[in-house]
C-alpha cells in the first residue's frame, strides 16, 4: 500500500478496525473518547469530510497516517504494511452496517465496553499470540504468570489478544494489530513484600524489564499504570514505599509523569537512564534481540564458509 492509498482510508474505518467507536456524531464530526488516555468526556474529534482528526486533550492531530503511526507505535513503512494486510478490511458496505450496530449498542449502554470477553486461556495455546509476544522480545516463561490469552467479541466478530489483568478485573489487550483495553480501566499492582517498587507505564515494559533481568531477578514490588492517566490512582500506594523506581517513556507524557510524582512528594528515582538511547524498555529489548540474531546469522555464514 502507498501513502496515497492509505490517505484514502476513512479515519472512522481505521478506528473501527481497532474496536474504537464514536460516542456521538454531529454532522461530519465524530467524537470519541481518546484512544491515548482514560477520559469520561469525548475530546477526540474526527472530521469525516476532511478525513482529519484532532485530539483536544493533547493538541495533536493530522491525517490517517499520523493517527495510524500513533496508534500502532510504528513508522510509516510498518504502518503501510499493516494497512495492506488481510487483517484490515475497509469495505464501505460492511463498515456502514457494523458501525450502525455498534452505535446502537453504545447508545443503549454507554457505560459498557463494546469489547465482550468470551474466554481466556493460558499462554502457548494460540501461536499468533505467542508470535506477537516473541516479536516484542518477551520471554514466554516470563509472561506466562502475568498474561493470558484473551478471546473477545466486538459486535458479531471474534478476536484474540495477549491480556494483562488490572486490579479491577479489566484487561489490557495487545496483538499485532490492536492496542486497547476492556472496562474497567485501572492500574495493576504486584506485591512481593519489598520496600521498593518499580513503576512502569505499560505491561510490555514490565515484561521487558523482567526479561532483561532474567539472569538476576528484580527484587521489588511493581505497579503497572496501564496508562499515564492512571498515575493519580497509584499515589497512595507509592507513598508506602521507601524507594520508587520509575521507568517513564522518553517523551512528553513520561516527563509529565515524573513531575506528577515529584509534586506528590513521592521518593522516586528516574530509572530511564538504562535505556537512554531508546523510547522505552521494550524498544531497547527488541533492538538487543535483533542484534543477537544478526550476530548469530553472521557467525553461521562464517562457519558455513569455513566448511566449504
Mean pLDDT of 255-281: 94
Categorize the per-residue pLDDT at 88 as very low, low, confident or very high, splitting at 50, 70 and 90: low
Domain with CATH 3.90.580.10 in the chain: 3-108
Q: Enter the DSSP assignment of 275.
A: G
Instruction: Compute the mean pLDDT over every residue in the chain, rounded to the nearest whole number.
Output: 85
Mean pLDDT of 193-208: 96
pLDDT at 304: 65
Question: How large is the angle between the packed helices 231-238 and 252-263, nearest 10 degrees?
Answer: 40
Give the closest residue to 274 by CA, choosing from 293, 288, 263, 264: 288
Percentage of the chain surpassing pLDDT 90? 55
pLDDT at 119: 95
C-alpha radius of gyration, the chain, whole number = 21
**Residue 297 reports pLDDT greater than 80:** no
The domain at 3-108 falls in which architecture?
Answer: Alpha-Beta Complex (3.90)
pLDDT tens, position by position, 18-76: 878 899 998 889 999 988 887 788 999 999 988 999 988 888 888 999 998 888 888 88
**Residue 98 reports pLDDT greater than 50:** no
pLDDT at 263: 94
0.85 surpassed by pTM: no
Cell of 80: 503501510
Distance from the first to the final alpha carbon of the chain: 42
Q: Enter the DSSP assignment of 85.
A: S
Q: In what order do the strands lie in the sheet with 147-154?
A: 116-121, 147-154, 157-165, 171-174, 179-181
On whether the CB atoms of residues 123 and 143 are closer than 8 A, the answer is yes
Half-sphere exposure of 304 (CA within 13 A, CB side): 6
Domain with CATH 3.40.1360.10 in the chain: 188-284
pLDDT at 111: 38
Give the closest residue to 198 by CA, choosing from 261, 144, 141, 278: 261
The CATH class for the domain spanning 188-284 reads: alpha beta
Amino acid at each position: 500500500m502507498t501513502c496515497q492509498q492509505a490517505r484514502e482510508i476513512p479515519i472512522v474505518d481505521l478506528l473501527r478496525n481497532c474496536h474504537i467507536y464514536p460516542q456521538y456524531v454531529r454532522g461530519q464530526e465524530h467524537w470519541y473518547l481518546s484512544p491515548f488516555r482514560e477520559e469520561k468526556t469525548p475530546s477526540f474529534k474526527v472530521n469525516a469530510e476532511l478525513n482529519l482528526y484532532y485530539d483536544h486533550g493533547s493538541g495533536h492531530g493530522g491525517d490517517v497516517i499520523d493517527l495510524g503511526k500513533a496508534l500502532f507505535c510504528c513508522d510509516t513503512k510498518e504502518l503501510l504494511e499493516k494497512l495492506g494486510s488481510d487483517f484490515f478490511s475497509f469495505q464501505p458496505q460492511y463498515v456502514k452496517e457494523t458501525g450502525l450496530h455498534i452505535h446502537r449498542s453504545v447508545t443503549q449502554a454507554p457505560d459498557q465496553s463494546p469489547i465482550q470477553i468470551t474466554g481466556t486461556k493460558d499462554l502457548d495455546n494460540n501461536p499468533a499470540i505467542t508470535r506477537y509476544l516473541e516479536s516484542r522480545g518477551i520471554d514466554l516463561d516470563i509472561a506466562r504468570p502475568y498474561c493470558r490469552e484473551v478471546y473477545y467479541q466486538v459486535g458479531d466478530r471474534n478476536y484474540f489478544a495477549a491480556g494483562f489483568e488490572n486490579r479491577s478485573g479489566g484487561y489490557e489487550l495487545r496483538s499485532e494489530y490492536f492496542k486497547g483495553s476492556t472496562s474497567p480501566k485501572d492500574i495493576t499492582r504486584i506485591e512481593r513484600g519489598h520496600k521498593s517498587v518499580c513503576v512502569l507505564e505499560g505491561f510490555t515494559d514490565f515484561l521487558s524489564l523482567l526479561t532483561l533481568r532474567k539472569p538476576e531477578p528484580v527484587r521489588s514490588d511493581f505497579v503497572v499504570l496501564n496508562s499515564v492517566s492512571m498515575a493519580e490512582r497509584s499515589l497512595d500506594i507509592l507513598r508506602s514505599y521507601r524507594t520508587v523506581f520509575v521507568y517513564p517513556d522518553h517523551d512528553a507524557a513520561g516527563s509529565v509523569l515524573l513531575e506528577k510524582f515529584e509534586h506528590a512528594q513521592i521518593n522516586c528515582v528516574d530509572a530511564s537512564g538504562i535505556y537512554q538511547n531508546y523510547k522505552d524498555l521494550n524498544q531497547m529489548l527488541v533492538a538487543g534481540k535483533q542484534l543477537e540474531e544478526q550476530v548469530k546469522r553472521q557467525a553461521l555464514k562464517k562457519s558455513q564458509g569455513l566448511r566449504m
